[in-house]
Amino acid sequence: MADMQEPVFQIQRVYLKEASLEQPNSPAILLQNDQPTVDIQLGVEAVPVADGVYEAAVTATVHTRIGDKTVFLVEAKQAGIFEIRNIPEDQMGPVMGVVCPQIIFPYLRSNVADIVQRAGFPPVHLAEINFQSMYEQQQQQQAREVPVQ
């Protein structure tokens, strides 16, 4: 038991990795009174960057339209660098797919609302996400896509 090391999980940094805003139909579309539709897509990814150090990122794409014309399109990727050591391999998936995104998401949520508001629109507040459920769905989908040999 003397060779067992304590698990380590530390946030090294949380940062806005990418952000873009497009308003291709401004200013004409801003004069329309129709109610826009909003489509929000989220993605989660994680990659090792050094021994025991990982980058996890959550990406949001918010596309707002009136009819077939874009009002605005915001894409933002919030990332974090995490030191993760001495955690069993079977627990790394949930740590990277659930724990890290839960830490990063509030920052992404705030940045997206800020970008949209600074563009002159009411802020878009991303709903809270159940990353556990999202992770489980991704695992089930991957299991279905693996061909049986």
CATH at residue 68: 3.10.420.10
Answer yes or no: is 24 within a domain: yes
* Alpha-carbon span 91 to 136, nearest angstrom: 13
Domain assignment present for 1: no
Region label for 120, one of left (φ > 0), alpha (ψ between -120 and 50) or beta (otherwise): left
- Dihedral angle over CA of 111, 115, 121, 125, nearest 10: -20
For residue 33, what pLDDT is reported?
Answer: 86
Residues 97-111: b if buried by 16+ CB within 10 A, e if exposed = bbbbbebbbebbbeb
Mean pLDDT of 106-135: 93
| Total of domains in the chain | 1
Report yes or no on 142 lying in a domain. no
Do the domain assignments include residue 148?
no
Say what the pLDDT of residue 123 is.
86
Q: Examine residue 147 and state whether it is found in any structural domain, yes or no.
A: no
Q: At what angle do helices 131-145 and 100-118 cross, to 10 degrees?
A: 110
pTM of the model: 0.87
2 part of a folded domain: no
Contacts of residue 125, defined as CB under 8 A and 6 or more positions apart, other chains included, come to: 109, 113
User: To 5 degrees, how large is the angle CA 113–CA 118–CA 121?
Assistant: 75
Tell me what percent of the residues of the chain surpass a pLDDT of 90: 77
| Structural domain boundaries enclosing 29 | 8-134
Is 125 part of any domain?
yes
- For the residues 84-103, what does the mean pLDDT come to? 94
Whether 149 is covered by a domain: the verdict is no
What is the predicted pLDDT for the residue at 146? 66
